[in-house]
Structure 1
Amino acid sequence: MKLTIVGGGGFRVPLVYGALLDRKERLGLSEVVLYDIDDTRQDRIGHVLDGLAEEKGTTLPFRTTTDLVDAVQGADFVFSAIRVGQLEGRVIDEDVPLGMGVLGQETTGPGGICFALRTIPVMTTLAETMAAHAPNAWLINFTNPAGMVTEALQRVLGDKVVGICDSPSGMCRRVAAVMGKDPKALWFDYFGLNHLGWLKDVRDGTGAPLLDELLADETALAKFEEGRLFGGDWLRTLAMLPNEYLYYFYYAADTVNAIRGGGSRGAFLLQQQREFYARNGANPEAALADWRATRHDRERTYMAEARSAAGQDGEHDIEENSGYESEAMAVVDAIVNNTREVLILNTANRSALPFLDERAVVEVPCIVGRSGPVPVAVGEVPAHAASLISTMKDVERTTIEAALTGSEQLAIKALALHPLVPSVNTAREIFDGYRRRLPELAETFA
């Protein structure tokens, strides 16, 4: 089996490679290819991968390339995690709206729209290359905004594109841990879009609902991230547990103030990763140690602005072997070995959320086997959640059309329709700010 990683010089590639080392026999891996437009970044990460292999006492040969056709030719699976415009672009995504008092968050806010406008054309090229040179391959998409990118690429590859995110499964594991139960023994009624989802109940083998009891227990809520972030009063008002990214909707103004006081996430990561990639990592053992130290600083500050806005001083709960690489491996394993495992994924709705059409990409529990993910029917959801999902799906689709056509009118429409953007004039100012500071956007939307 050939597996290709697009974005092979990315900082989180060692997580994927480590997971592959643990599963190479089960998956029947014979070839791993890293593709990136920046060979120096791939070289730096390659030393980290060598360090992982030495530490585990096993080998999984890989090669690097800057030729996309070579990378995907005959692949069975393609993992994609790219950042068009790199972290310099993310800083601009966040800074431009913040200058106008609007949250610029890179996936859920206007920053996510700008990120998508420059990412979707590049990802469409990847999908078209796969269609021509690896027509039977599965594309496992981690590239953000994951749901929006997945929906855009399904126009080219159909259901062979699966979007993944570790945020829903992470929340479910944390909930199970607080309940003192094995997550594999529970059913999680989760629904929504990527970074816009809710857990409406948890059920055990008897079918008994368990979430109300958890929401009533302040001590239990204080033991996991989402409980501390949103607080018991608001969670009981919702009667659901929101995905952590919904903090940016429910507490937008508070988050803007917190970022202005402490700096953006993008600026922190830009400085951190510049230093990491600039250092000498020729020795595999030293390269691995350096990467791990850098990763620890990265992970502990995840969503720090939301915690600050919520008055929480602690660090992010770091779970080992539980990131998006684990989600990707679970998808591949389920397809290759027909395990029919239940995973929360981004895929075409079919009839999972009845208020959306069948091709809308949603994030819901799916049964995954050899034919890919089959979404489970979620049924009726609270009106406010359905309304927000519908609005954001319209924003997503307008953004996709803008990205594929280069329409300034549609780009501004997408921004203006976003719930976090207060007016049409503000949307125009945000778009103009992006176009001034991002050459690739100025070229597309000339």
Structure 2
Amino acid sequence: MSTPRKVTRRKFIQLAGGAATGAALASVAPGLTSAAAASASKPFGMPYVRQNRKVRVAVGGWAQQNMSDLLEQTEFTKKTGIDVEIVLRTDTKETELTRIVSAVQADTSPYDVLDFEDELATSLSQAGYMVGLDDILPAEMWDDFSPEMLEYSKTWSSLDGETFRVIHNWEMPYWWYRKDWFDEKGTAVPETWDDVKTMGEAFTDKGNNVWATEDGLIKGAFLNVYLAWVTLQAGGNPFDVGDAYKQALEYTYDLMYTHDVFNPASLQKDYNQQNADYIADKVAFMRQWPFFGDVARSEDNTEWFSDDKVAVTLPPVGPGGKAGSTYPAAWGFGVIRTSPNLEEAKELVSFLSTNEVAVQAMKVGFWFLNARKSVLAEAPQDNWLVQQMKMYTDAGVIGVRPFHPQFVEALTILEDTASSYLTKQMSLDDSMKQAKAQLDALK
């Protein structure tokens, strides 16, 4: 098991600063040794003799009530004798990273269990701040994960073959379209990159600022997400700065400036602005994360909403094939190495990782929705979000989010160089040369 790495002032600045500028939003599956499996299979329900046991778990404000309800309904404290205090983590990943780095270097911890996202997972694992979990995870858990969740966990929740995060929120962008518009024009929903190129003729009306498609591509939180999936659709990883990345950039540029399909103003928009344009009847087809479904169905949009305005289809397939058409991002639970309640923290994470509790969690709130087999089997089949996740899972279109070991620093490099090309400030060759040189300097 690794030990915390001493972080120099320079590395601290790289970690915290990299997150601030870049943040948005093994060949076999991780497994258990026989001894670990036997340990993890012990039933809950027998409190330890020691009294006054406690654990602090940090979650985002949006998840506080769900977490409280879950612990109450599963009777974790009654079964284990461990009191749980739910505290709020800071509101951004960069401030959270700063808090944890400072605390761990002082051999303390602001909480014991942390609910955290991909960007923080990369930084904290590389620094050696998270506890390995394989010896306490239920033996049943890995068999319950879908193949896509297993691949994701190997890449984003493990380091050197050791699992340090158990994901519970696992979701991907969906492709939304105005079915009412498509039906009116007799236009087929695009199934390939080539199909997307023809959409400008049917839907783009520059005079009225209506576009066939749009995205949120502003730097600092959004452009890197787009670059990752469009390069994945091309069959590669953008951090390789190879042929697939070049093809993805050229495709995006041509959609904007040659085919009049993709609104170039996307480079100055975030997701809220993108959603507002769609609801204002300015966009026919778009990639967006699941939260848009709740936005469209909110009370503010009651007069506008109808099912045929927010239809969901499978992603258009790129040169890389359908298996890399989209990718999920995730949140999950981990244990901070300097936790003052280390034993209790491990017991809580082990408890939350069981199949039974995973199903109960999903029923408490969709913050706990993922593609575990037991979760999808028990999820309400008439719910739009469950339907979309099952459709994408069954279609085999979910790939693994492109990874770089110095993720937050690397994505900033890609954003800066790609935006220079997409705003016509730099040639494609120069953009790629600069990206390649700066990424090589990180090694």
Same fold judged by TM-score > 0.5? no
Greater C-alpha radius of gyration: 2
User: How high is the TM-score relative to the length of structure 2?
Assistant: 0.33
More relative contact order in 1 or in 2 (CA 8 Å, sep 6+)?
2
